[in-house]
Structure 1
Amino acid sequence: MIMRQVTVKDIANKLNLHYTTVSKALSDHPDISADTKQRILTVAKELDYHPNSIAKSLKKQETSTIGLIVPSIKNDFFSAVISGIEEVAYGRGFNTVVCQSNENSEREAIHVGTMISNRVAGVLVSVAQTTKSGAHFKALGKQGIPLVFFDRVCDDIEADKVVVDDYDGAVQAVRHLIRSGYKRIAHLAGPKNTSIGRDRCRGYMDELQRNGIPIDHEMITYGGLEEDNGVAALRELLSRGRKPEAVFAVNDPVALGAYKEIKRNGLRIPQDVALIGFGNITLSYYLDPPLTTVSQFPYELGRAAAGMLLRRIENPGREMTPAIEVIKTELILRKSA
């Protein structure tokens, strides 16, 4: 048998009271006597009553829910970011609702509409890799809902942003490879329309040039951000007939795909091909050899993004210029490079 949710009217009927009396008591209204309040609270507990937060938000025109849109929660990075966000939000009396775009811009736009319909207090977003325009995010501004981008951002939308120093992280990785004696360094780049793809590729190219190594576009492949993209990218590089001495991947999932393809071809890491990722996901430590990578401190990034959004929510009438906070990266040296 399907049970329906207990309402204020159920409590009122049990006590033979008007539902407005029960509603006031549950809101601790001074018009209701202490004795009546206690009777109502006792019955509410007996019936396992839970207040309807959506109805309350409609009445008050405010809510204590933050919307969060991420590309995927199966990625270690976003799981850690969510943990940081929820820690800060919970401490300030806010709940979080998480939606996955699954790297699909159309699905992302649908989630934005859902956030507006549910009158969330604010929205945090890391954009899908297929998102080429931030047009669908403009609806949030029209509804007065604060927006903060984190990690992957939209350059065409004026909003607060918390980002990783993707450029410097790439520079650190490539600099380490060059100092280790590698010159033919390939890059498995991300989508050109993503901020992380562009900035990490730019860091790779600039560091090569700073060290007098000409950019060889045959050593660069552009693709997605998943493991299978790494497999395909490494396969494409090897098919060009010039094996790279080292590979810098746009992120750890892509590096993991490259790792598998390198091994499948009977090559050794790092003796035949050195490899560096970006992200420091948990699995990177357990590979054999362990993956050298760039840590981007996702938990701290999440905390910073939540703090930035809550400042907007808690100061609704205050004019504030869109801010950008940059989280520094750290090169984690292991055995793959």
Structure 2
Amino acid sequence: MNIYDIAMEAGVSPATVSRVVNGNKNVKDETRKKVLKIIEEKKYVPNSLARNLSVGDSQNIAFLAPDIENPFFSKIFHGLLDTANQYGYNVFMYGTNDDLLTEHRILDEIKKEMIKGIVIIPISDKDKGTAERLEKIQKNQIPVVLLDRDICQSDFDGVFSTDYEGACEGVQCLIRAGHKKIAIITGELDTRPGRERFRGYKKALKDADIKQRTEYIVNGMFKEAESYDACKRLMEIDDRPTAIFTSSNLTTLGCLKYLKKNNLKIGRDISLVCFDEIRELQYSDICLTVVDRPIYEMGCAALELLEYNFLMENKMKNERIVKKTNLLKTKLIVRGSEKYVV
């Protein structure tokens, strides 16, 4: 038994159980007796760390990210931390390593700790295991905010970017430059970013009456090594593309690695438009046209959504407030890498 099991059986919030365990007087006598009776019957022994963390209300927020080494997720974490500091919260980052079993295990462990809220970038938007775990957590009055990636048919608040519109604008930039043989290195299509960016690519081609070619669509899985292989496949096609749209920062890095290794140059052998800025490239001679978005601000917005839920918790009691979705806009930055290769 843990504090959440006790709360569920007593029909109260985990915070109420915490107050009873810690001797807080702000609990009705009837509720206190009910909780203490269940604790005695179940022989529940509170975790000492959880008790120390739970004096009053917990100030701890869990952040789950698929890849903690990816600069994109690190910048989101930066936004979360800065905003959390303003409200006096602690943010703990958990790496799921793009593995669903790891994601499930971490969520199961988090349920046993005194966590005030969760921000998560889920691995897949179709995984029932993660969805069910998050629903149980939220029913225990611990708000959940999705970030960057969605969960299908869920009732969670979320912060996302306009991926569809951004990808469409990026591919349109290539079309305006004169390209008709445009390839894409996609991300995972069971994620909102992968699916929406691919949809934007297809929309731009359709609007320009350019036929979509199957051989020009390769999945890089949002990973550097896989995107290296994807770029290799595209560049070895007999009728190879004149331009590639890359779907993420790591996708772009994998593509750049292949081009450099094979002495292929942007503007001579291939044109590129990329999704997400790579700040480190400003120290190189590589100037890429990119679909940029306010990554740091996405982290800030996710924490603000959690804070709103915390403030509304007492006012709304056990009622679920309307789902809130925050969409941050992308912006095309043109630097010349889209130019048509003659």
TM interval, short-chain normalised: 0.7 to 0.9
Q: Give 1 or 2 for the bigger CA radius of gyration.
A: 1
Measure, in 1, the Cα distance between the counterparts of 2:292 and 2:99: 26
In 1, distance between residues paired with 2:184 and 2:104?
Answer: 31
Question: Alpha-carbon deviation of 1:237?
Answer: 1.8
Kindly indicate whether the alpha-carbon contact (under 8 Å) linking 1:105 and 1:131 is maintained by their aligned counterparts in 2: no
CA distance in 2, matches of 1:156, 1:284: 38
Counterpart residue number, 1:173: 170
Instruction: Look up the match of 2:87.
Output: 92
Match of residue 60 from structure 2: 65
- Structure 2 unaligned spans of 5+: 1-21, 25-47
Q: In the alignment, is residue 198 of structure 1 matched against residue 184 of structure 2?
A: no
- DSSP 3-state at the match of 2:204: helix
User: Contact conserved, 1:208 with 1:214, CA < 8 A, in 2?
Assistant: yes
- Does the C-alpha gap of structure 1 residues 90 and 301 become closer, same or farther in structure 2, counting only changes over 3 Å? same
SS in 2 for 1:97: strand
2:113 is matched with which residue: 106, 115, 118? 118
Cα distance in structure 2, aligned partners of 1:56 and 1:267: 58
Tell me what 2:288 maps to.
291
SS across alignment from 1:316: helix
Equivalent residue number for residue 106 of structure 1: 101
CA contact (8 A) 1:148 1:160 kept: yes
Q: 1:266 aligns with which of 263, 268, 272?
A: 263
Please tell me the residue identity of whatever aligns with 1:200: R
SS state at 2:92 partner? strand
Alignment partner, residue 336 of structure 1: 337
The whole-number CA distance in structure 2 between the counterparts of 1:195 and 1:336 is: 26
The whole-number CA distance in structure 1 between the counterparts of 2:190 and 2:75 is 24
- TM-score of the aligned structures, taking structure 2 as reference length: 0.79
Alignment match, 1:280 = 277
Give the conservation status (yes or no) of the 8 Å contact 2:161–2:330: yes
Report what 2:138 is aligned to: 141
User: Does 1:307 pair with 2:304?
Assistant: yes
How far apart, CA to CA, are the structure 2 residues paired with 1:247 and 1:129?
A: 25
Residue 325 of structure 1 aligns with which residue?
326
Once residues 191 and 208 of structure 1 are traced to their aligned partners in structure 2, the CA distance between those partners, rounded to angstroms, is: 20
- The 8 Å contact of residues 251 and 277 in structure 1, kept in 2 or not, is answered as yes
Is the contact between residue 132 and residue 193 of structure 1 (CA under 8 Å) also seen in structure 2?
no
Structure 1 residues 244 and 129, CA gap change in structure 2 (3 angstroms): farther
CA distance in 2, matches of 1:63, 1:53: 12
Return the alpha-carbon distance in structure 2 between the equivalents of residues 104 and 145 of structure 1: 24
Q: Distance in 1 between matches of 2:78 and 2:99?
A: 23
Q: Which residue of 2 aligns with 1:40?
A: none
Q: TM-score, normalised by structure 1?
A: 0.80
Counterpart for residue 243 of structure 1: 240
1:1-20 equivalences under 5 Å are none
* Structure 1 residues not aligned, in runs of 5+: 1-22, 28-51
Distance 2:299 2:214 in 1: 35
Equivalent position amino acid for 1:201 in 2: F
How far the C-alpha of 1:238 sits from its partner, in A, is 2.8
Q: Offset at 1:312?
A: 0.8
Q: Distance in 2 between matches of 1:92 and 1:56?
A: 20
Q: C-alpha separation between the residues in 1 aligned to 2:126 and 2:110?
A: 18
C-alpha contact 1:252 1:293 (8 A) present in aligned 2: no
Counting matched residue pairs gives: 288
Structure 2 contact 121–148 (Cα < 8 Å) conserved: yes
Give me the CA root mean square deviation. Answer: 2.2
The equivalent position to 1:77 in structure 2, one of 72, 79, 92, is 72
Amino acid at match of 1:303: C
- What secondary structure is seen at the aligned counterpart in 1 of 2:275? coil
Q: Secondary structure at the match of 1:315?
A: helix
